[in-house]
A = this chain, B = another copy of it.
Amino acid sequence: MNRVYNFSAGPSMLPMPVLEKAASELVCYGNSGMSVMEMSHRSPDYEAIIKKAEADLRKIMNIPDNYKVLFLQGGASTQFSSVALNLINRAPSKKGLYAVSGQFSGKAYKEAVKMGINAKCIATTKDDNFDHVPTITRDMVDQDASYLHICFNNTIYGTKYGYIPDCGDVPLVADMSSCIISEPVDVTKFGVIYAGAQKNMAPAGLTLVIVREDLLGLSDESIPTMLDWKTMADNDSMYNTPPCYAIYMAGLVYEWIAQLGGLEVMKEMNVKKAKLLYDYLDSQDYYIAPVKADSRSMMNVTFVTGDADLDKKFASEAAAAGLKNLKGHRSVGGMRASIYNAMPYEGVEALVAFMKKFAQENPKK
């Protein structure tokens, strides 16, 4: 069995101890006589699994009691609709604010517009090819708005907010799909945090929503029940059958992080990995890192050679060397190394070594 270093943006690497544990108990979990996949979601065995997952997540993220944790389905894309439908009535203006810092925040904005919501884009860095995130100041945030939506880490462009925008009394809603549990974050600064699980938490098919209680129950009666956070909160994410196995996997990941020492330790490990790669990028001029320094993502590192053919060759030869999925998103090209929690330091060392070798072997004309 030869494991590769998988730099995929998502789904992406999971920690080896987690995979090995899951494999060892896949057919038969503990004394239950069955797989976790086969358990009734209302059985005591499964109740223990989902409760421990939530408790571990609350512990590592330091989630206050006045926030609900929901384990949902549908991906962040479903939340683009849910955010608008659940929150738009919060203020009489029924106006949703959006900052567009890349493809997914743009999709969230467009989804609101499509659904007939009064959505306003207050900031975008589109004219700069999203090479940094917008600077959002308090005066830009209309205080009569129902919410402000941002994407905290932009997977495709490799950018991240280096600060938490001050929104005054307007709830800040953040898509954290590609940076969730990569470092400590002050949950109290947000009204809602949501994330697809498939980048840093679990296999695809699970969506985490962390929502402040006063933001529940504001939707119109006509909201599709499964998109209504209050219904899901009132039923502890079990209004219907939840994605049980993905929640179990997320629980193993939360436990792994807790055992390592929590998000402070995780941040140290991630800083070390990202620093190795960015320091190399800053030390040479063969590769160009397009993202401005203050917006650099710790999870998704983008770079280009400046020559599309060389980029293609790079991704192809890297894959052959066991460094997989380094090709950038089809909408932007170049290379992207996603170095989530589960990527070992050795993987980034191997990448930098390969980059040096490739640069030597492929001089630019």
Interface: A11 (CB within 8 A): yes
Interface size on A (CB < 8 Å)?
Answer: 68
Q: Known: A196-B241, A226-B75, A226-B77. Contact between A203 and B324, CB under 8 A?
A: no
Residues of chain B with a CB closer than 8 A to A11's CB: 37-41, 241, 244
Residues of chain B with a CB closer than 8 A to A20's CB: 27
**Which of A12, A19, A73, A85 has the most CB atoms of chain B within a 10 A radius of its CB?**
A73
B23 and A27 contacting across the interface, CB-CB below 8 Å: yes
B204 and A245 contacting across the interface, CB-CB below 8 Å: yes
Residues of chain B with a CB closer than 8 A to A249's CB: 37
Interface positions, chain A 133-192, Cβ under 8 Å from B, are none
B246 and A40 contacting across the interface, CB-CB below 8 Å: no
Q: How far is the CA of A206 from the CA of B204 in the complex (A)?
A: 11
User: Which B-chain residue is minimally distant from A32 (CB atoms)?
Assistant: B4
Interface: A355 (CB within 8 A): no
Q: How many copies does the complex hold?
A: 2
- Mark interface residues in A41-53 (1 if CB within 8 Å of B CB, else 0): 1010000000000
B10 and A33 contacting across the interface, CB-CB below 8 Å: no
Q: How far is the CA of A1 from the CA of B240 in the complex (A)?
A: 30
B22 and A34 contacting across the interface, CB-CB below 8 Å: no
A325 and B13 contacting across the interface, CB-CB below 8 Å: no
A81 and B205 contacting across the interface, CB-CB below 8 Å: no
User: Which B-chain residue is minimally distant from A75 (CB atoms)?
Assistant: B240
Q: Known: A205-B246, A243-B243. Contact between A114 and B225, CB under 8 A?
A: yes
Residues of chain B with a CB closer than 8 A to A81's CB: 224-227
A111 and B39 contacting across the interface, CB-CB below 8 Å: no
Given contacts A6-B34, A11-B241, A198-B241, 8 further A-B contacts (CB under 8 A): A4-B32, A37-B203, A37-B204, A74-B78, A74-B226, A75-B241, A205-B244, A246-B246
Q: List 4 tightest A-B contacts by C-beta distance, closest first.
A: A205-B243, A4-B33, A81-B224, A37-B203
A sample of 28 inter-chain contacts (CB < 8 A) reads: A3-B27, A3-B28, A3-B34, A4-B32, A4-B33, A4-B34, A8-B40, A9-B40, A10-B241, A11-B40, A11-B41, A12-B40, A14-B38, A19-B27, A20-B27, A33-B324, A73-B74, A73-B75, A74-B74, A75-B241, A77-B240, A78-B224, A81-B224, A81-B227, A115-B222, A198-B244, A205-B242, A205-B243
